[in-house]
Structures are given as structure tokens and as C-alpha cells.
Structure 1
Amino acid sequence: MTPTLLLTDPLFLQHDPGHGHPESPARLQRILSVLHGTPVQGTVTVAPRSATSAELAAVHTPELLAYLERLSGHEAQIDPDTQVSPDSVDAARLAAGASVQAVEQVMAGHVRNAFALVRPPGHHAEPGRAMGFCLFNNVAIAAEAGRRLGAERVLVLDWDVHHGNGTQAAFYGRRDVMYQSVHQYPYYPGTGAAPEVGVGAGEGYTVNIGLPGGNSDADYGMIFEELFLPVAEAYRPELILVSAGFDPHVHDPIGGMDVTERGFAAMCASMRALAERVCDGRLVLLLEGGYSLEGLSQSVHACVEVLAGRNDSFPTGTTHADARHALKASREALKPYWAVL
């Protein structure tokens, strides 16, 4: 059986946004410590390559790329949330390259699926703007790589507690990349309302559901089963990418959700099963947020176990009225485009 590929590198630990910043090197250190202490059979870990200039330019403007290049080797404050240290731009370039390499290996059939354990994260980075802890948009760069390698339709699913405004912006007018996001709303960065469904050729190919907070594994299970999965099945992606942010965890200091490790494992399992049904198992997870060291590391470990073959399902439980209301609003916004709704 082909293995699950994990990609990571010590350079990711050299990105240091500063003392007290939530997106600290300790996040990845804890993940790697847990994976080392309790190895998952059926995985192989490799060091990634850096993204090429052309791979970055497939998503980002020349102005942003030149700006970040000027910051390389320096400390700088990009916005109130986003700081760089001397190695940050190199680490970000490597994170983007890891994302592309994961797609290359999955598309070639060399591995069954992959998880890029990278920092800095990416989904807030817009084509022309670094923001929200993010420099390059790793998942958007990975989606473009998938398209170049022959995937006619790519699904990006984002379960981070924050809406991936950068990923949405990159593909909002296109139908060759579908973006699905469940997130806390209203919350940073302020995007991701249900009526945001795309424009032009991309109308109906952006799927947003914003939750008020305090939502459970059962709520997420309802959203996957009644919105994300039916639309994704109808879309028939040839590659599935997940912006895997673990800040919806019940113990996260930034997010306001009540998701557990079991909930993340179930979300991952649903994506793995979808990939096995529609695209020969081609699935790549990319690390985004998650700021409870224990919640993050245990949830990543649970997802790696699922990628390597463990099955899981959403816990049964009562769903919240506000989640049902949000689901109804999103389904209504998308009904004109998807008969399954």
C-alpha cells in the first residue's frame, strides 16, 4: 500500500513572529514531538523543496513578491498581526513549495495522500497582500499546481476558524477551483457571509457557512453531510485540498468553537472517503491555524491516523439552532446553482 506523505523541515521553526505571538514555533514543535512520540504506521516524512518564482507568481502579484523579497533577511511588521523575522520569507517559500510537492506526489500516485506540516500558514494571503499571519497562500499555490498537473476541477475545503479570504479572492471568479469554508462569523477577517457565492464564471463555486461560535462536532457533521459533501459530490473534483486549521478546537485561545479531536478526525475521514469515491484518493492537507498546543497536536495526530487508514465518524449529538439557521441560509444562497440542495 502506498504511504501517507508528511512534509516538514526545521526551517519552519526559524519563522519567529516575536515573543507572545500565537503563531509561534512551539506549535509545530509540539506537533512533531507528538508524532515522534506516537508514530503513525504507514507514514513517511520527507523534507520539502522551496516554491519556484513561477509557482508563487501563479497566485501572487509581482508587487507582493517583490515586497516580500525585500523583507527577506530582515525583521519587519507587515500589519498589526503579521511580523517577519530574518528567515520568515525563506520559510514561507518552503511552505509553499511543500504544498506543491505534496500535490505533485499525490497526483503522480507515489503516495496515497499527504499532510504538509508547515509554517507560516497561508489562507489569509491575498494575491496582492500578505496578512493575518500569512505571507504566501499555500493552498492556492497548491491548487494552481494541481490544475497544471491535469486536475480539471480542484476542491479546497477550509475548516479553520477564520475565513480564508485570500483563497476565496484567488478563485472567486473561477469554477475550476471550488472553495468551501466553515468558519466563525462575524469574526476576523470579516469575509465569508453566506451570499458570497462567487462572481461571473465562478458564481456558485464558493460555498460559505459562517457560525456564531460555540458550535460542536455534531454541528460540523451536519454541515458536512447536508452542504459540503453533496455539493462536492456533484462537483466531482479531481484533487481535494484541505486548509486544515485547528483553531476551532474547544481549548483554542483564539477561536470560539467547541470542536474536539474526534470532530477533526471525522472531518478528515469524510474528505478521505470523498477523495476515494471521486478522485482516486487524491487528498492533501495543509496546516493553517491552531493555537492550543495540546489541542493542535492531538488533532493533527488524529488526522494523520485517518490519512493512514483509520476510520472515524462524527459523534452523534444535538445540533444547535444557530447552526441549523446558518446551514439553511447557505443552502438557500446556493440552491440556484446546485440541484442537490
Structure 2
Amino acid sequence: MSTILITQPQGLDHATPAGHPERADRLRRLNKVFALPQFADIQTKEAACAGLDFALEVHPKEYVEKIKSLRPVEGMSPIDGDTYISKESLGAVMTGMGAGLGALDDVLAGNFDNAFCAIRPPGHHAERLAPMGFCLFNTIAIVARIAQQKGFERVAIVDFDVHHGNGTQDIFYTDPNVLYASSHQMPLFPGTGALNETGVGNIFNAPLSEDTDGNEMRLAYNDVLLPAIDNFNPDIILISAGFDADKRDPMAGLNWGPNDFAWITGKLMDIAGKRCNNRIISLLEGGYDLDGLGQGVAAHLSMLAHGVNGPAIDHINFKHEE
């Protein structure tokens, strides 16, 4: 496998209040993970800035203008009880889009088999007309639309964030050429993702009860999600890679560990190898315990780049940024 890792310095500038779970420390921790010797062979580049007009692929113009109008001159402003916009947030959004679109170009050109984009803010809760759940624009949906324009007729989006990607589902609910497959805890924010939410036969949800461990997760993927993705015969697989299903995460109650994220990644790579010439683009979504996030991303990236779950990093004493 050949992997491109795309980092986002501007993501550090998206400000949230003290104590907010979606904070710049998340990227600081990942930057320390990426500096470990086991990742020295992975090519890395910084995200370019994409024009905000790319957001018009999934959000109407009035929505984009509304978000722009909410940006404060200084500091930060709440949009709702969870979601904030700061002076530098649009720069973070545009470089997040730039990371995903740059990864798409690299994979399309055959420069790399797959890509991981370490970006914030996350995006999968942003609906066509509503920001929520820490998300301002739906980055992965934008990448999917551009992928369609570049000739990928069937795009699969796989979301293993512990929270259901209501925004992504909302945007593609009636598009038979985009499959959305999600595992998530239920009941939990945002309250969507039931089995009977099937779109036009392109939506596959696997709601998991609190305390679900890796063994039960594997059953859900083997029985429902992986066959659906394989049968869809995608031209490319996009991953909403959230790591808040980790057992240490404060925002939910699933009991996964790094090996579980590696397992899911490996299974998606198997399908990509069979169906779409290994093409995978993974974008960071959630993950709010720094140790759980770092170890989960390390397992995910090791699998993408090396085809194996890399050496454990739980023995490394990171200095906490909190």
C-alpha cells in the first residue's frame, strides 16, 4: 500500500471554549503520533486551501452566506449549545476541504492508493441547511460530490464514528449512486440512524447498544455493512473516521479499542482491493479522549499504510496537552 498523510496546521486555529471536547489538542496529539518512528516512511504534506465555493456542492448559497455572516471579528461565537465558530474557523474549514480534495486528486492520479486527512472541525453532522454537533460544513459529502464529478460513478461512504452522521445521510438520502453505511451507538446524539432509515436502498445503518464491544461490532459489519458495501461495487471508498467509540471516550459508551479500528480498516481495504483498485480516502471526524484518539488513529493509519496493525503506542508517555 502507498499512503499519503495530509495534515492541517490551520485546524489548530479553529477555536472552541475551554473544556470543549472538540479542541485543538486533538490535532496536537495526532501530530505527536505522526512523528513516531513507525510512521517515518509515510509521505506527508500539508493541506492546501480550497475555495469556500466547493461547499456549494452540498450546501445552498444562502447557507454558506449565513455561516460566513456568523463569523466573529474576534474570539468565538456559539451557533448552538455545542457548535462554535471563531475568527479563523473558515480557514480551518477551507483547508479541511483542501485536504480531502487534494487526497482525491492524488488517489485519482494513482500517486497513492489511499489517504488519511487529519482535519478539524469534523463535518458529518452538518446537514444541507443546519450546522450542528461541532460541524459547520459537511466535508466528506463535498469530497463525495467532487469525486462524482471526476468520474467516480459509485461512491461509498463508511462512517464508524460513534455518533450517526445525520448530515451525510441527509445529503445523500435520495442519491442511489452514493452508499452511506454507518455503525454508531443508539440511542445517542443526534438521534438518527435507525434500521428503517434506508433512503432509496442506499442507506445502511447498524445501530449498536451501549457497551457494545469489538466482537459485537464485528458481527454488525460482517452481517450488514460489509456485504452492502461489497455489493454496491464502489469506485472509491470514503471513510468518516471517528475514534469516539473507544472505551475511554467521554462522549459515548461503546467499548472498542485500537484493534477494532484496525480490523474495520482492514476489511474496507479488502473490499477496496477487490472493487476499486485500493482507492480509500479517510477523513478524521470525532474522538475526544486524547489517548483513545491517538491510539485509534495509529492503528488506522498503520493498517492503511502497512496492511497490518502497527506497534502499540499505549506504552508511550505523551505529555497531555489539556
Q: What is the TM-score with the length of structure 2 in the denominator?
A: 0.93
Distance 2:305 2:206 in 1: 29
Q: Is the 8 A contact 2:206 2:224 kept in 1?
A: no
Q: What are the Cα deviations for residues 242-293 of structure 1, in whole angstroms up to 9, with x where unaligned?
A: 1000000011111100000000011111111111110000001100000110
SS at match of 1:157: strand
Task: Say whether residues 1:305 and 2:302 are aligned partners.
Answer: yes
Letter aligned with residue 36 of structure 2: G
Cross-structure match for 2:23: 24
Q: Is the 8 A contact 1:147 1:154 kept in 2?
A: yes
Q: What are the Cα deviations for residues 54-97 of structure 1, in whole angstroms up to 9, with x where unaligned?
A: 42100111111101222345321111000122111210121122
Distance 1:9 1:184 in 2: 29
Cross-structure match for 1:168: 169
Q: What are the Cα deviations for residues 320-340 of structure 1, in whole angstroms up to 9, with x where unaligned?
A: xxxxxxxxxxxxxxxxxxxxx
Distance 2:122 2:211 in 1: 24
Cross-structure match for 1:110: 111
Letter aligned with residue 308 of structure 2: N
SS at match of 1:186: coil
Q: What is the TM-score with the length of structure 1 in the denominator?
A: 0.87
Letter aligned with residue 257 of structure 1: L
Q: 1:240 Cα deviation (Å)?
A: 0.1
Distance 1:147 1:300 in 2: 27
Q: 1:16 Cα deviation (Å)?
A: 1.3
Q: 1:231 Cα deviation (Å)?
A: 1.2
Distance 2:221 2:91 in 1: 36
Q: Is the 8 A contact 2:71 2:77 kept in 1?
A: no
Q: 1:53 Cα deviation (Å)?
A: 3.6
Distance 1:54 1:91 in 2: 14
Distance 1:28 1:247 in 2: 15
Q: Which sits farther off after the overlay, 112-121 or 86-95?
A: 86-95
Cross-structure match for 1:154: 155
Cross-structure match for 1:194: 195
Letter aligned with residue 90 of structure 2: V
Cross-structure match for 2:237: 240
Distance 1:221 1:99 in 2: 28
Letter aligned with residue 210 of structure 2: G
Distance 2:40 2:276 in 1: 24
Q: 1:41 Cα deviation (Å)?
A: 4.6
List runs of 5+ in structure 2 lacking aligned partners. 310-322
Q: Is the 8 A contact 1:153 1:236 kept in 2?
A: yes
Cross-structure match for 1:138: 139
Distance 1:72 1:272 in 2: 39
Letter aligned with residue 156 of structure 1: I
Q: Which sits farther off after the overlay, 126-135 or 71-80?
A: 71-80
Distance 2:62 2:87 in 1: 20
Q: 1:93-104 counterparts in 2 under 5 A?
A: 93-104=94-105
Cross-structure match for 2:211: 214
Percent identity among equivalent residues? 38
Cross-structure match for 1:59: 58
Task: Say whether residues 1:224 and 2:225 are aligned partners.
Answer: no
Q: What are the Cα deviations for residues 27-52 of structure 1, in whole angstroms up to 9, with x where unaligned?
A: 11001112213341541111112222
Which of 259, 269, 286 is equivalent to 1:262?
259
Letter aligned with residue 48 of structure 2: R
Q: 1:9 Cα deviation (Å)?
A: 2.1
What is the root-mean-square deviation of aligned Cα atoms in Å? 1.4
Distance 1:187 1:238 in 2: 32
Which of 273, 278, 281 is equivalent to 1:276?
273
List runs of 5+ in structure 1 lacking aligned partners. 313-341
Q: Is the 8 A contact 1:113 1:284 kept in 2?
A: yes
Distance 1:12 1:73 in 2: 17
Distance 2:129 2:37 in 1: 40
Q: Which sits farther off after the overlay, 75-84 or 238-247?
A: 75-84
Cross-structure match for 1:84: 85
Q: 1:13 Cα deviation (Å)?
A: 0.6
Distance 1:52 1:90 in 2: 10
Q: 1:189 Cα deviation (Å)?
A: 0.5
Q: Which sits farther off after the overlay, 97-106 or 169-178?
A: 97-106
Cross-structure match for 2:316: none
Q: Which sits farther off after the overlay, 92-101 or 110-119?
A: 92-101
Letter aligned with residue 266 of structure 1: W
Q: 1:15 Cα deviation (Å)?
A: 0.8
Distance 2:287 2:220 in 1: 21
Letter aligned with residue 2 of structure 2: P
Letter aligned with residue 230 of structure 2: E
